[in-house]
A and B are shown apart, each in its own frame.
Chain A
Amino acid sequence: MSGMRDRVKAEMPKVGRRRAVGDATRHHFHTRRKQWAKMTEEGRLQPLRDWAKAVKDQALNNNQQVVAKFQQSVEALGGHVHFAATAADCVRQVVEIATQHGAKLVVKSKSMATEEIHLNPALEAAGVETVETDLGEYIVQLAGEPPIHIVGPALHLTRYDVAELFEKELGEPMSTDPEALTAVARRVLRDKFLNADVGITGANAGIAETGTVVLFTNEGNGRMVTSLPRVMITVMGMEKVIGTWADFEPVLTLLPRSATGQNMTVYVSAVTGPRREGELDGPEELHVIVMDAGRSKLLGTEYQEALRCFRCGACLNCCPVFRQLGGHAYGTTYGGPIGITITPLMKGFVEHADLLDACSLCGACTEACAMQIPLHHLIRDLKAERAASAYTSGWERLLFRVWSWAWSSAGRFRWTGKLARLLAKPYTQDGYLTWHPGPLAAWGAERDFPAPAARSLRERWADLEREVNP
């Protein structure tokens, strides 16, 4: 796998996509900010955030009990709950359930958890046609790409891109009208819904007291996936389970407002057990797979806070780095601040250590996070773990060690300052360097770097003191 810097360099020339990502994230950023300003004025933003945090912390602190209660409730309704320790376990279980039922066609509602475990290729390999039904997910699936943003999977593609894609993949006559494009997708997907054997969903929350899986969608596709196919499988991260419906209220209120600025998601679907006698729709068989896949490593540590995340994407929308890139350049399922926090934690530093460099520690994410996850502080703490690990070069370590030795004494500080000035002198013009050696090369490619001043402030102090303290 290539490094973060290489992926960034590969992404930079894709100007059109980057502009689309920038425009979309800026739009979501402003709608959320407007929504938040209104709620602040009404005096209810902070109380809601505190409530949501408290609810989620309590559920995470008692994760085992809450998940056990959820299992009990689902099973009491005749559903099945499975546990998956790893991503591979989870994939295997889903494929098993699907193939046991002789499934030929699976429809899916939007789910980052199934993206995380790369479920679709595994189902396809088992001979099961797998169709995403969220419009954005459907588009990126046709394009053969992963989602670029956890809320807006295709926000990097314009309607012209989509028109081209539909023409190529679906043989549809070219139209760049968004409504016409949506109608095409609706027609194609309607047929899939009606013929699917299995519906697969993620979960925005699991409610332990009633054994309910809750889905937020804006298109109604979640309803179709959970009501038409005979078998339903939900893949849910273990951190998604909360205790009660009362606990759900702050999540219900905050999630759409933080994600898109909407007061309310268009569809909130709550699936409580399989179809009961006398009911007209709903799955005959319901499976919920509660997935760990590295999440439990965060429980009980300072990083547990990151598990409060309800995937609203606000940290992506405000992140000045994400806005430049979109999610693909991160090379992970989750990009942006939350991605660079949880990915190394769940999957380890191997291949993911340099994600931490895709952050200027500006703190915009921490400010934007509805769940009050101190994202940039966690990223900094992860950097401290990296600095103490084999994923930091000996050179970097040596550089910081020597530098801190030099500058932890005023005498050495003065001496190194003079040395720097002396070394820079032949390469100084108008107060700026004309040559950028070593780590400065990366700076100097597109920016000028100042030369040390001819007299430092401490050298000027004697004169200055005579002037200001006569």
Chain B
Amino acid sequence: MRVSFFATCLVDMFFPDIGESAIRVLRRLDCQVDFPMGQTCCGQPAWNSGFRAESERMAEAVIRAFAGSEYVVAPSGSCAGMIRTVYPALFEGRPELQAQARALAAKTYELTEFLVKVLRVDLRERGAHFDGKVAYHQSCHMTRELGVVAEPYQLLDQVQGVIRHDLERPDLCCGFGGTFSVKQPELSVAMLEDKLSDLDASGADILVGADPACMMHMKGRMRRLGKSQKVIHLAQLLEMATRPGRGEAKP
């Protein structure tokens, strides 16, 4: 299966390790991965702030970059959600681009969704193993725009050694919200504090996410506070769990 990897701007510029992990996991699951160099940013920050024309311009670049792809996979629920739920409506009145936007939406998946729904992986068959007490943060747009909720839990359950310490409210916003985090920083941090209390109460050592923006937010506060829990992307956990000759793997 041929997969074009949509890194998303955050992963490309700030968290390439997440991208590497995701690509390695896809490769181990027998996908042929490519990286179209024309890709940039999905335009979500502009869209969420109400700057439609600006987001349209970025969307055009993304649509062009992935025109020849069979599948497009992104390690971010909100960016995959942007392409799937917003792009087609964004080009209302521009039929040619709208058709391309629809085509892109139809072949774009968030990573965990792709693994479960398209590849139908069973990581148990591959002997996936990772030892850790894990809490998973759902991310709002992945949950409520894209509707991908069960898949990450399913994957975690397929990894031997993972002990789930679910958050009481895994679906509650971490307070990031794009420009919200800088327009209302006091509120944003107060919401984040609630999330971190939930994490503390869960007893987990590792907070797993599937949206790098939320992870950046949570980690940014945890680092400032010197908290001991690690924050990793589910792709990184899966990469360690499926690593050939694993055993010594540490997050």
Chain B residues, Cβ within 8 Å of A455: 16
- Over the window 1-31 of chain B, the binary record of Cβ atoms lying under 8 Å from chain A Cβ atoms (1 yes, 0 no) is 0000001010111111101100110010000
Contact call A403/B54, Cβ cutoff below 8 A: yes
Since A324-B190, A366-B144, A432-B223 are in contact, a sample of 13 more A-B pairs with Cβ atoms closer than 8 Å, ordered by chain A residue number, is A324-B187, A357-B180, A358-B184, A360-B180, A364-B172, A383-B48, A387-B49, A410-B65, A413-B40, A450-B15, A453-B17, A458-B37, A469-B33
B220 close to A447 (CB less than 8 A):
yes
CB of B60 within 8 Å of the partner chain: yes
B24 adjacent to A468 (CB under 8 Å) = yes
**Bound form: Cα–Cα A446–B182 in Å:** 11
In the assembled complex, 15 residue pairs joining A and B whose CB atoms fall closer than 8 Å, in A order, are: A320-B172, A358-B184, A361-B180, A364-B171, A367-B144, A383-B49, A400-B54, A405-B57, A409-B40, A432-B223, A443-B185, A446-B185, A450-B216, A458-B35, A460-B16
Contact A363 B224 (CB under 8 A): no
Interface membership of chain A positions 177-190, coded 1 if the CB is closer than 8 angstroms to chain B and 0 otherwise: 00000000000000
Closest B residue by C-beta to A460: B16
The answer to whether A465 touches B35, judged by C-beta atoms less than 8 angstroms apart, is yes
**Is B178 interfacial (CB 8 A cutoff)?**
yes
Q: Are the C-beta atoms of A380 and B48 separated by less than 8 Å?
A: yes
- The yes or no answer to A143 lying at the interface (CB within 8 A) is no
Let me know if A358 and B9 touch, CB within 8 A.
Answer: no
Q: Which of A360, A363, A396, A413 contacts B175 (CB 8 A)?
A: A360
Asked whether, in the complex, the Cβ of B40 is within 8 Å of the Cβ of A408, the reply is: yes
Chain B residues near A386 (CB, 8 Å)?
A: 50
Look across to chain A and name the residue whose beta carbon is closest to the beta carbon of B175: A360
Q: How far is the CA of A445 from the CA of B182 in the complex (A)?
A: 10
> What 0/1 pattern do residues 165 to 207 of B give for CB contact below 8 A with A?
0000001110111101111111111111010000000000000
A325 / chain B contacts, CB cutoff of 8 Å: 187
Residue of A nearest to B28 (CB): A468
Docked complex Cα distance between A410 and B172 (Å): 34
Asked if residues B20 and A460 are in contact (CB atoms below 8 Å), the reply is: yes
Q: Give chain B interface residues in 208-236, CB to chain A under 8 Å.
A: 216-217, 219-221, 223-224
Question: Pick the contact of B12 from A359, A363, A458 — CB < 8 Å?
Answer: A458
CB < 8 Å neighbour of B58 from A361, A408, A453: A408
> Given A403-B46, A408-B57, A408-B60, A320–B194 Cβ distance below 8 Å?
yes
For residue B183, which residue of chain A has the nearest CB? A357
Residues of chain B within 8 A of A440, CB atoms compared: 182
Interface centre among B35, B60, B181, B187 (most CB of A within 10 A): B187
- Which residues of chain A are within 8 angstroms of B13 by Cβ–Cβ distance? 417, 420, 452-453, 456
Contacts A364-B140, A469-B27 known; A410 to B38 CB distance under 8 Å? Answer: yes
Interface string of A393-425 (1 = CB under 8 A from B): 000110011011101111001000100100000
Task: With A410-B40, A450-B220, A458-B12 as known contacts, state yes or no: A361 contacts B172, CB within 8 Å.
Answer: no
A228 → B minimal CB distance (Å): 45
Q: How large is the interface on B (under 10, 10 to 19, 20 to 34, 35 or more residues)?
A: 35 or more
With contacts A12-B186, A325-B187, A461-B35 taken as known, whether A362 is within 8 angstroms of B173 at the C-beta atoms is: yes
B144 adjacent to A363 (CB under 8 Å): yes
> What 0/1 pattern do residues 229 to 266 of A give for CB contact below 8 A with B?
00000000000000000000000000000000000000
A383, closest chain B residue (CB): B50
CB nearest neighbor in B for A440? B182
Q: Are B48 and A361 in contact (CB-based, < 8 A)?
A: yes
B9 smallest CB distance to A (angstroms): 7
- In A419-470, the 8 Å CB interface with B consists of 420, 432, 439-440, 442-443, 445-453, 455-458, 460-461, 464-465, 467-469
The answer to whether B12 and A408 touch across the interface, beta carbons within 8 angstroms, is no
Q: Which residues does chain B contribute within 8 Å of A8, judged by CB atoms?
A: 184, 186-187
A385 on the interface (CB 8 Å rule)? yes
A contact residues vs B (CB 8 Å cutoff): 4-5, 8-9, 12, 320-321, 323-325, 357-364, 366-367, 380-388, 392, 396-397, 400-401, 403-405, 407-410, 413, 417, 420, 432, 439-440, 442-443, 445-453, 455-458, 460-461, 464-465, 467-469
Q: Are B189 and A320 in contact (CB under 8 A)?
A: no
Return chain B residues, CB-CB under 8 Å to A9. Answer: 186
| Bound complex: CA A450 to CA B216 (Å) | 8
> Which A residues are in CB contact (< 8 Å) with B181?
360, 442-443
Q: B32, A446: Cβ atoms under 8 Å?
A: no
Q: Which residue of A lies closest to B56 (CB)?
A: A404
Is B55 in contact with chain A by the CB < 8 A criterion?
A: yes
Q: Which residues of B are found within 8 Å of A469, using beta-carbon distances?
A: 27, 32-34
Q: A362-B144, A410-B61, A457-B7 in contact; A447/B14 too (CB < 8 A)? A: no
A382 and B52 CA atoms in complex are apart in Å by 12
B116 CB–A CB distance under 8 Å:
no
Residue contact A404 to B220, C-beta cutoff 8 Å: no
Could you tell me the distance between the alpha carbons of A432 and B15 in the complex, rounded to whole angstroms? 12
Chain A residues near B102 (CB-CB < 8 A): none
**A359 and B181 alpha carbons, distance in the complex (Å):** 10
In the complex, A401→B185 CA distance in Å?
23
B76 at the interface (CB under 8 A from A): no
Note all chain A residues with C-beta closer than 8 A to B19: 457
